[in-house]
């Protein structure tokens, strides 16, 4: 494949996600898509890369398989937004321990050169309890002391929780009260969090059986990192008491493998679930709100 990247090469799904997206703290989504071919060609030239395969994408980033001096890597270019600002800092701090290794970074262009992983094999195809064990094991390695230059959990999540303090109709008040009580009163030793370690964000590699990708580094309570494993693959939940057991089981498996106290895990997973329920309500996604609230109900009850 030629090293020259053109507008026609932008994945349709990425274009759909970002077209019309308001700017976060850089350019808006449409403007960034217009700039993307130039950014790709600039970065491949600067890092002496050859594009070797078809472009892929996440929610807010272009991902390209590339080669440099005979070695295979991944080039990731992210649309400028807050979560992408600190990815290179977290990756450099983890230095490949349980997560994809950072080869080079150009923070000004939100460009990362990463080790090559097997993008065709993630944890979604793995039986869910075994997959939760893998996620927990990775979190246990990722939860190290955080560098000073990543966002503080209190600032980030405090801002997310602020609209809930006025008790909007999006989440039942009793659950909001529980989430606010945890956030306002529960003490914790801050660790470096991934924030989005779900089944699609764990890939096979040659270096290790499984490695995490796509972190949103924050310094915060380890238990807050569990919910992505609970809120994904919801189609595999049953109903009633069986669902209650399944939610509890996922939390327990991840917490145990990560070395997180179960009460701490349940409390902070509740906070995360309440936040997600409110967010999806604001986004006009009632089906997702129903799922989050069903999980919140389980978490709100002691077991």
Nearest to residue 244, comparing CAs of 300, 200, 282?
Answer: 300
Query: How far is the first Cα of the chain from the last one, in angstroms, to the nearest whole number?
Result: 55
Candidate CATH numbers 1.10.1470, 3.40.50, 3.30.200, 2.20.110; the one for domain 7-115: 3.30.200
pLDDT for 49-72, tens place per residue? Answer: 999 999 988 789 999 999 999 999
Tell me what pLDDT residue 302 has.
67
Q: Is 58 helix (H, G, I), strand (E, B) or coil?
A: coil
Q: How far apart are CA 133 and CA 159, in angstroms?
A: 31
Cβ contact 296:175 at 8 Å: yes
**Has residue 1 got a pLDDT over 50?**
no
Tokens of 132: 């939760």
pLDDT for 24-49, tens place per residue? Answer: 888 999 999 999 999 999 999 999 99
Q: Is 20 helix (H, G, I), strand (E, B) or coil?
A: coil
Average predicted confidence (pLDDT) for the chain: 94
In CATH, the architecture of 122-300 is Alpha-Beta Complex (3.90)
Confidence of residue 112 (pLDDT cuts 50, 70, 90): very high
Tell me what pLDDT residue 58 has.
79
Tell me what pLDDT residue 168 has.
85
Tell me what pLDDT residue 186 has.
80
Nearest to residue 170, comparing CAs of 244, 82, 46, 278?
Answer: 278
**Has residue 2 got a pLDDT over 60?**
no
Crossing angle of helices 153-161 and 262-282, in 10° steps, is 50
Residue with tokens 């507008």: 7
Q: Please, where are the H alpha helices in 223-261?
A: 227-231, 240-258
Mean pLDDT of 131-152: 97
Cβ contact 119:56 at 8 Å: yes
Inter-CA distances, 51 with 54, 101, 116, 156, 213, Å: 8, 19, 13, 36, 20
Confidence of residue 153 (pLDDT cuts 50, 70, 90): very high
Confidence of residue 3 (pLDDT cuts 50, 70, 90): low
Hey, which residues are catalytic here?
A: 196
**Has residue 251 got a pLDDT over 80?**
yes
Tell me what pLDDT residue 177 has.
95
Tell me what pLDDT residue 303 has.
61
Provide the β-strand partners of residue 203: 122, 211
Mean pLDDT of 162-167: 91
**Has residue 154 got a pLDDT over 60?**
yes
Radius of gyration of the chain (CA): 20
Task: Please state the length of the chain.
Answer: 303
Give the distance from CA 247 to its chain's centroid: 20
Tell me what pLDDT residue 74 has.
96
Instruction: Name the segment(s) of the chain with CATH classification 3.90.1200.10.
Output: 122-300
Mean pLDDT of 239-268: 96
List of residues 6+ apart from 181 with CB closer than 8 A: none
Least confident residue range of 13-17, 98-102, 139-143, 225-229: 13-17
Mean pLDDT of 205-233: 96
Instruction: Name the segment(s) of the chain with CATH classification 3.30.200.
Output: 7-115
Q: Choose between 152 and 59: higher pLDDT.
A: 152
Confidence of residue 4 (pLDDT cuts 50, 70, 90): confident
């Amino acid at each position: 494949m030629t090293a020259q990247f053109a507008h026609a090469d932008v994945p349709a799904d990425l274009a759909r996600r970002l077209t019309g997206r308001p700017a976060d703290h850089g350019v808006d989504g449409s403007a960034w898509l217009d700039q993307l071919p130039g950014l790709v060609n600039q970065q491949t030239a600067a890092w002496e890369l050859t594009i070797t395969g078809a472009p892929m994408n996440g929610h807010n980033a272009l991902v390209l398989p590339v080669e440099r001096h005979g070695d295979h890597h991944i080039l990731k270019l992210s649309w400028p937004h807050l979560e992408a600002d600190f990815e290179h800092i977290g990756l450099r701090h983890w230095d490949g321990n349980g997560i994809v290794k950072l080869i080079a970074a150009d923070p000004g262009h939100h460009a990362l050169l990463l080790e090559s992983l097997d993008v065709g094999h993630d944890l979604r195809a793995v039986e869910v309890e075994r997959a939760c064990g893998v996620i927990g094991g990775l979190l246990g390695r990722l939860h190290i002391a955080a560098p000073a230059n990543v966002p503080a959990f209190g600032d980030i999540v405090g801002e997310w929780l602020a609209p809930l303090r006025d008790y909007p109709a999006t989440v039942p008040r009793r659950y909001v009260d529980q989430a606010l009580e945890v956030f306002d009163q529960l003490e914790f030793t801050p660790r470096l969090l991934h924030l989005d370690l779900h089944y699609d964000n764990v890939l096979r590699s040659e270096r290790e059986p499984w490695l995490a990708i796509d972190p949103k580094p924050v310094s915060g309570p380890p238990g807050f990192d569990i919910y992505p494993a609970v809120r994904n693959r919801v189609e595999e939940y049953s109903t009633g008491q069986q669902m209650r057991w399944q939610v509890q089981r996922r939390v327990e498996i991840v917490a145990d493998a990560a070395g997180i106290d179960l009460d701490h895990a349940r409390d902070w997973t509740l906070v995360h679930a309440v936040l997600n329920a409110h967010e999806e309500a604001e986004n006009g996604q009632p089906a997702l709100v129903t799922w989050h609230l069903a999980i919140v109900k389980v978490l709100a009850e002691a077991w």
